[in-house]
Homo-oligomer: A and B are copies of this chain.
Amino acid sequence: MTAAPTPAGGGLPAGPPLPGGLDTPCLVIDLDVVERNSQRMAAAMSERGIALRPHIKTHKSVALARIQLVAGAVGLTVGTIGEAEVMAKGGVEDIFIAYPLWASDPKAERLRQLLEMPALRLSVGIDTPAGAARLARAIGEPIDRLIVLVEIDPRYHRTGSDPDRAGEVAQAAQAAGLHVSGVFTHGGHGYAGIEASAVAARDEVEALRRAADSLRRAGVEPEIISAGSSPTAMGAAQPPVNELRPGVYLLGDRQQVHLGASPPDGVAVAVAATVVSDAVEGQVVLDAGAKSLTKDAPAYLAGHGFLPAYPDGVVERVSDYHGVVTFPEGGDRPKLGEVVAVIPNHACPVVDLFDTFVAVRGGQIEGRWPVDARGRSG
């Protein structure tokens, strides 16, 4: 690897300003940028008449979810029962677990406990007749409070029913006693690049259109037709889609800027790190490594993060607690002891490494806020 390539999205991420006195490595989130991102997405969806149900697996914070709800989100999307438990306990009343749950005994017990919360509207994903049957059997009586949506594969080929056979899954679910409210999809193949994002958005819309037809043919009316990912959000915001579930847009990251899904000044998150060594020539070493930045590195980004103050630096290698940053010959570089911001390649797994984040507003520390659902991966 040499220097970081110019991002396809047309700009270099700026990232939040760092307050002084930080104990590194730590996660910093700029609340001004969070609020701006939150309002921007809510306005864009409102203009298009589309419900916004943001995915909170990116930030896992009840307080940040509240900002999204205040800005106009109709409810939240989560990826796990653990995230649903944390958000429900935090007072959120409309939660969709956008995941094809397999209702094992421990999972069914936890779902039943959630269904006992009288104010909570809970919906979950299914993608096979067998999964639906198991869910209905395992839940038992509180089944009339559980809403299900059929997951559709939009050619991402991860999970989800074939669009044209979604009606079969819906029918099996209804036969088992579940209330089917619609269909959902996730065009994750849009993360492959800026052109792939446009293709994936079209794939989401097309797959959902076919799936909705398949449900109708099976006698099930799809009230909710839900697409979702930050890179595809704008492209997929068109009929018959009536709900969107983007997540990373709230914090932004290096990948979103590259994909054109976040403006360069739309990145609210950084890992603050200190230069701990310049003993080896031609590089400096940060105290943020794989346990702070992860090894998540899409092929189109050089290195494991981006230093806005030193844009020629490449976080070439990470080990658990070390990030080795190299520079072109003669390039400007931070000094021993200096604290720098590192924009993560991908915010979601990075936030999940920290129990708390430093919430800043106007460059000042507002507090240390919990990453409430950290580690709630099941």
Q: Which A residues between 296 and 354 are near B, CB-CB below 8 angstroms? A: 296-297, 317, 319-322, 324, 336-337, 339, 348-349, 352-354
Partner of A317, one of B104, B106, B158, B324: B158
Contact A349 B291, beta carbon cutoff 8 Å: yes
Listed residue (A80, A295, A321) with the most chain B CB atoms within 10 angstroms of its CB: A321
Q: Does A292 contact B (CB under 8 A)?
A: yes
Partner of A275, one of B23, B102, B321: B102
Return the chain B residue nearest A375 by Cβ.
Answer: B355
* Residues of B contacting A258 in the complex (Cβ-Cβ under 8 angstroms): none
Q: Does A378 contact B (CB under 8 A)?
A: yes
Contact B280 A159, beta carbon cutoff 8 Å: yes
Given contacts A57-B320, A375-B355, A378-B23, contact A276 B159 (CB under 8 A): yes
* Residues of B contacting A375 in the complex (Cβ-Cβ under 8 angstroms): 291, 353-355, 374
Return the chain B residue nearest A101 by Cβ.
Answer: B276
Q: How far is the CA of A79 from the CA of B322 in the complex (A)?
A: 10
Q: Does A377 contact B (CB under 8 A)?
A: yes
For the complex formed by this chain, how many copies does it contain in all? 2
Q: Does A24 contact B (CB under 8 A)?
A: yes
Q: Does A128 contact B (CB under 8 A)?
A: yes
Bits for A25-55, please: 1 = Cβ < 8 Å to B, else 0. 1100000000000000000000000000000
Return the chain B residue nearest A273 by Cβ.
Answer: B378
* Residues of B contacting A291 in the complex (Cβ-Cβ under 8 angstroms): 348-349, 352, 375, 377
Q: Does A277 contact B (CB under 8 A)?
A: yes
Q: Does A130 contact B (CB under 8 A)?
A: yes
Contact B337 A320, beta carbon cutoff 8 Å: no
Return the chain B residue nearest A292 by Cβ.
Answer: B377
Given contacts A26-B378, A159-B279, A277-B128, contact A104 B349 (CB under 8 A): no
Contact B157 A280, beta carbon cutoff 8 Å: yes
* Residues of B contacting A240 in the complex (Cβ-Cβ under 8 angstroms): none
Q: Does A197 contact B (CB under 8 A)?
A: no
* Residues of B contacting A276 in the complex (Cβ-Cβ under 8 angstroms): 99-102, 131, 159
Q: Does A127 contact B (CB under 8 A)?
A: yes
Contact A274 B104, beta carbon cutoff 8 Å: yes
Q: How far is the CA of A151 from the CA of B160 in the complex (A)?
A: 52
Contact B287 A102, beta carbon cutoff 8 Å: yes
Q: How far is the CA of A29 from the CA of B259 in the complex (A)?
A: 40
* Residues of B contacting A274 in the complex (Cβ-Cβ under 8 angstroms): 102, 104
Q: Does A290 contact B (CB under 8 A)?
A: yes
Contact A161 B377, beta carbon cutoff 8 Å: no
Q: Which A residues between 143 and 162 are near B, CB-CB below 8 angstroms? A: 151, 153, 157-162
* Residues of B contacting A188 in the complex (Cβ-Cβ under 8 angstroms): 319
Q: Does A210 contact B (CB under 8 A)?
A: no
Listed residue (A131, A160, A280, A292) with the most chain B CB atoms within 10 angstroms of its CB: A280
12 A-B pairs within 8 Å (CB atoms) are namely A101-B276, A102-B275, A134-B337, A151-B279, A162-B279, A188-B319, A291-B375, A291-B377, A320-B352, A321-B377, A352-B353, A353-B377
Interface residues of A, Cβ cutoff 8 Å to B: 21-26, 57, 79-80, 99-102, 104-107, 110, 127-128, 130-131, 134, 151, 153, 157-162, 188, 274-280, 283, 285, 287-292, 294-297, 317, 319-322, 324, 336-337, 339, 348-349, 352-355, 374-375, 377-378
